[in-house]
């Protein structure tokens, strides 16, 4: 594979393109100059033919041959290299000026006496090239043929000019091609300078310099999109690496607490002899920490499967109202203990996996109960249209800043201190909700305001059975391609 640089390739392309264009232009000029010389010579020969015809026509028929030759020589003086040969109707030479090269007379003999048109010819000899004209002579009064005339002129000066012109043209094409290659190299180097900056920046990137960016001002339009894409990639890498660092720190922090508890309990148990009930109590406490670790590890493995695209939900109708009712039965004792009221409104049927959706709804409801003060209310509202089934989970609470709302679905993120200190929360529940909803092709969002905290999930609605349509089930006439935001009511 060729290892030439892009600059070298473009420079050679400039040179070849320039040479090709100039070659075509030079060939056109060469043909045009040759045609011009040919027309000039023909005009000159036409003039000589008209002069000879006029002189021969104005002379008496008994004019002596010596006097005829003298008058024709006087008329043709000042034209060196001109060959003229006049013959009468019998082929006898009446006037001869100059001499044709050997073979030229036989090759280009004068036209027959009965010819009605003249004939142009050329003798391309390296020593003495000629361009000639053979034409019949006619009586000016009767039009009867009286002889023939042959006129030829040397064109060696034309050949010399064309040879010099072609040499100059070839040299000009060569120099222009070299100049185009040099200019192309310089222009390409200047145009590719942003790419060199990208290369230099990319080669110097490390975990300490992910905030570096390429300047976008003054960049050529062809590279503008590349620079923007490169900067966007750096921003994504920086954000991803930051999240990875935070995730690693959070994992270490979350694992350190139960492990520290287990270590402390074990050290206490080994510190002195206790009865069976005391040991049993310590084991129960250790079991809680093990279960907490197991839940965290299972949640992390579940999210890893989601990242690898291994979550494959089933596609079956799921009555969301039934799922919420079942969850309320499960969470009622805890809600009563917290002094929280659970309220459910509406109906919706989603198309998905019942177990996965139940887990997502469970995380949302438990999260709402955990962050609702005593005497508050957790409300789950269900809506649907022709394409989407909506679940809205609301609970009272302080307004959460928009910057924190965007990160609520990040792993191990708990936001405000009052959320961070909530018991038994590992910070993975909302991340699992987002992964499950995304696997179903839906969307989840969080909003905060005077109403408190609201999580809204949009899932693909289950198709309506044919029998239901035949019974006149009302169907919206249109549906958005993306989940529509439900307005507050």
What domains can you pick out in the chain, each with its CATH number?
6-162 (3.30.450), 221-307 (1.10.287.130), 316-470 (3.30.565.10)
**Average per-residue pLDDT for the chain:** 79
What confidence category does residue 2 fall into, taking pLDDT thresholds of 50, 70 and 90? Answer: low
What distance in Å separates the CA atoms of residue 360 and residue 443, rounded to the nearest whole number? 12
Measured CA distances, 271 to 259, 264, 277, 381 (Å)? 18, 10, 16, 54
- Which of 455, 442, 480 is closest to 356 using CA atoms? 442
d(CA 320, CA 363): 14
Do the Cβ atoms of 487 and 413 come closer than 8 Å?
Answer: no
Tens digits of residue pLDDT in 299-311: 778 777 777 777 7
pLDDT digits (tens, 9 = 90+) for 174-233: 999 899 889 888 888 887 777 777 777 777 777 677 777 777 776 667 777 877 888 888
CB 478 within 8 A of CB 385: no
Provide mean pLDDT across the span 322-333.
93
Provide CB contacts within 8 A for 231, sequence distance 6+: 213, 214, 216
Q: What's the pLDDT tens digit per position in 444-464?
A: 999 998 888 999 999 999 876
> Which residues sit opposite 342 in a β-bridge?
378
Distances in Å between the Cα of 328 and the Cα atoms of 342, 346, 393, 435 are: 7, 15, 13, 23
**pLDDT band at 295; cut points 50, 70, 90:** confident
- Write the pLDDT tens digit of every residue in 409-450: 887 776 654 444 444 456 788 888 998 999 999 999 999 988
Global confidence as pTM: 0.50
Place of tokens 């900067």: 231
């Amino acid at each position: 594979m060729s290892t030439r640089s892009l600059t070298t390739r473009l420079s050679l392309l400039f040179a070849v393109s320039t040479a090709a264009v100039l070659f075509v232009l030079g060939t056109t000029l060469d043909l045009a100059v040759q045609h011009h010389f040919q027309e000039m010579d023909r005009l000159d020969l036409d003039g000589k033919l008209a002069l000879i015809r006029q002189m021969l026509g104005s002379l008496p028929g008994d004019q002596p041959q010596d006097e005829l030759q003298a008058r024709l020589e006087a008329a043709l003086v000042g034209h060196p290299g001109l060959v003229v040969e006049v013959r009468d109707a019998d082929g006898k030479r009446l006037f001869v000026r100059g001499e044709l090269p050997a073979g030229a007379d036989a090759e280009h003999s004068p036209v027959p006496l009965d010819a009605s048109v003249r004939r142009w010819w050329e003798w391309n000899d390296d020593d003495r090239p000629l361009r000639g004209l053979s034409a019949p002579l006619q009586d000016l009064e009767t039009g009867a043929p009286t002889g023939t005339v042959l006129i030829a002129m040397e064109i060696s000066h034309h050949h010399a000019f064309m040879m010099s012109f072609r040499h100059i043209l070839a040299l000009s094409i060569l120099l222009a091609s070299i100049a185009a290659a040099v200019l192309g190299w310089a222009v390409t180097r200047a145009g590719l300078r942003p790419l060199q900056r990208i290369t230099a920046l990319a080669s110097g990137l490390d975990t300490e310099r992910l905030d570096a960016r390429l300047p976008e001002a003054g960049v050529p339009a062809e590279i503008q999109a590349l620079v923007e894409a490169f900067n966007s990639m750096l921003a994504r890498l920086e954000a991803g690496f930051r999240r990875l660092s935070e995730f690693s720190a959070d994992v270490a922090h979350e694992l350190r607490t139960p492990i520290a508890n287990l270590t402390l309990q074990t050290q206490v148990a080994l510190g002195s002899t206790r009865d069976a009930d005391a040991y049993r109590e310590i084991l129960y406490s250790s079991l809680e920490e093990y279960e907490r670790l197991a839940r965290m590890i299972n949640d992390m493995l579940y999210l890893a499967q989601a990242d690898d695209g291994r979550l494959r939900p089933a596609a079956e109708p799921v009555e969301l109202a039934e799922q919420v009712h079942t969850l309320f039965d499960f969470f009622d004792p805890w809600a009563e203990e917290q002094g929280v009221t659970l309220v459910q409104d509406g109906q919706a049927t989603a198309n998905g996996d019942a177990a996965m959706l139940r887990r997502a709804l469970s995380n949302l409801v438990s999260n709402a109960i955990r962050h609702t003060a005593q005497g508050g209310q957790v409300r789950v509202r269900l809506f649907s249209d022709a394409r989407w089934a909506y679940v809205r989970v609301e609970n009272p609470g302080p307004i959460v800043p928009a910057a924190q709302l965007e990160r609520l679905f990040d792993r191990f993120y708990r936001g405000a201190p009052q959320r961070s200190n909530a018991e038994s929360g590992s910070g993975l529940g909302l991340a699992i909700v987002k992964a499950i909803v995304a696997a179903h092709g839906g969307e989840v969002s969080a909003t905060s305001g005077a109403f408190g905290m609201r999580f809204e999930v949009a899932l693909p609605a289950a198709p309506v059975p044919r029998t239901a349509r035949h019974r006149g089930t009302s169907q919206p006439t249109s549906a958005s391609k993306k989940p529509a935001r439900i307005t507050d009511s």
